[in-house]
């Protein structure tokens, strides 16, 4: 009778204590082993090339290069890459961006050890792993109209408290153009004023204060 294949796991997180904790949980399972660890997105790409793990656990918020950029780069080079986002954030924009980049799963760091191991097995088997609460937020996000890059730029400057004139100067565009961008993004966000727009944007993870 053939032995079950060991699932080779790469852990990517900028906190050593988190990596150590995850590695302890994973290595206790006889069907899994942590083959490598990385502490930022660029290191994740380099380590992935070297080890080509079966499943990668990828944090989103890291220095140098974040998780979304790393997932995008890895999936572009390795079509069979199986990656699950592992993060403390569950804002719908983070979920959307992680899965859109090519991740097959999304797991929060407060997940129980059994859920973590189950997620790794599910991803390894070629299926997606998205917990129900995360899936509900993702569906909600997908129903929102997409903001353009310029609308996002205007929104981020609004969140910094800039006036229309300040935004126009910062983006080298006319004040009337700023107003039309703001009107469009208010409509897309389903709000009636700038304050509500910023509140909704923060909740969704579009901007951070």
Q: Summarize pLDDT for 121-158 with one digit per residue, the tens.
A: 999 999 999 888 777 777 676 667 778 889 999 999 99
User: Does residue 168 share a domain with residue 78?
Assistant: no
Beta-bridged to residue 86, according to DSSP, are 107
CATH code for position 200: 1.10.10.10
User: Which of 117, 142, 167 delimits the end of a domain?
Assistant: 142
User: Does residue 199 share a domain with residue 113?
Assistant: no
Higher-pLDDT residue of 88, 117:
117
Q: Supply the pLDDT for residue 44.
A: 97
CATH code for position 90: 3.40.50.2300
Q: Supply the pLDDT for residue 55.
A: 98
User: Which of 142, 162, 179 delimits the end of a domain?
Assistant: 142
For 48-71, give the DSSP string. Answer: HHHH--SEEEE-S--SSS-HHHHH
Sheet arrangement for strand 105-108: 32-38, 7-12, 55-58, 83-87, 105-108
Selection from 44, 75, 49 nearest residue 59 by Cα: 44
User: Does residue 159 share a domain with residue 83?
Assistant: no
CB neighbours of residue 1 within 10 Å: 3
Q: Is 209 inside a domain boundary? A: no
Is the pLDDT at 91 greater than 80? The verdict is no
Is the pLDDT at 20 greater than 50? The verdict is yes
Q: Supply the pLDDT for residue 187.
A: 86
User: Does residue 197 share a domain with residue 130?
Assistant: no
User: Does residue 115 share a domain with residue 36?
Assistant: yes
For residues 117 and 125, give the distance between their C-alpha atoms in angstroms, rounded to a whole number: 12
Which of 13-22, 78-87, 99-108, 128-137 is predicted with the least confidence, judged by mean pLDDT?
128-137
User: Does residue 117 share a domain with residue 77?
Assistant: yes
- In angstroms, what CA-CA distances link 37 with 13, 42, 71? 8, 12, 15
**How many domains are there within the chain?**
2
Q: Is 2 inside a domain boundary? A: no
User: Does residue 94 share a domain with residue 24?
Assistant: yes
Is the pLDDT at 1 greater than 50? The verdict is no
Q: Which domain holds residue 86?
A: 7-142
For residues 171 and 49, give the distance between their C-alpha atoms in angstroms, rounded to a whole number: 39
Which residues are within 8 A (CB) of 58 and not within 5 positions of it... i.e. 6 or more apart? 12, 44, 67, 70, 71, 83, 84, 85, 86, 98, 103
Which tokens hold the place of 136? 């509900």
Q: Supply the pLDDT for residue 172.
A: 95
- In angstroms, what CA-CA distances link 196 with 31, 64, 119, 147, 201? 49, 32, 36, 16, 8
Q: Is 49 inside a domain boundary? A: yes
For 151-173, letters b (16+ CB in 10 Å) and e give: bbbbbbbbbeebebeebbeebeb
Q: Is 1 inside a domain boundary? A: no
CB neighbours of residue 90 within 10 Å: 16
- pTM here? 0.69
> Can you count the helices (H) and strands (E) in the chain?
10, 5
User: Does residue 199 share a domain with residue 101?
Assistant: no
User: Does residue 125 share a domain with residue 33?
Assistant: yes
């Amino acid at each position: 009778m053939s032995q079950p294949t060991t699932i080779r796991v790469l852990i990517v997180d900028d906190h050593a204590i988190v990596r150590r904790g995850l590695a302890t949980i994973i290595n206790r399972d006889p069907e899994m082993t942590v083959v490598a660890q990385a502490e930022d997105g660029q290191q994740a790409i380099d380590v992935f090339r070297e080890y080509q793990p079966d499943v990668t656990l990828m944090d989103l918020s890291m220095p140098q290069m974040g998780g979304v950029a790393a997932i995008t780069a890895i999936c572009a080079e390795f079509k069979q890459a199986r990656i699950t986002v592992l993060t403390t954030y569950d804002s719908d924009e983070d979920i959307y961006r992680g899965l859109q980049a090519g991740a097959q799963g999304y797991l929060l760091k407060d997940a129980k050890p059994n859920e973590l191991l189950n997620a790794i097995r599910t991803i390894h088997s070629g299926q997606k792993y998205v917990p129900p609460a995360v899936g509900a937020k993702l569906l909600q996000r997908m129903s929102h109209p997409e903001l353009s890059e310029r609308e996002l730029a205007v929104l981020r400057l609004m969140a910094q408290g800039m006036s229309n004139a300040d935004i126009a100067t910062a983006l080298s565009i006319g004040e009337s153009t700023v107003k039309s961008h703001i009107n469009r993004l208010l409509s897309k966000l389903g709000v009636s004023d700038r304050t509500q727009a910023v509140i909704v944007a923060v909740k969704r993870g579009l901007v951070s204060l």
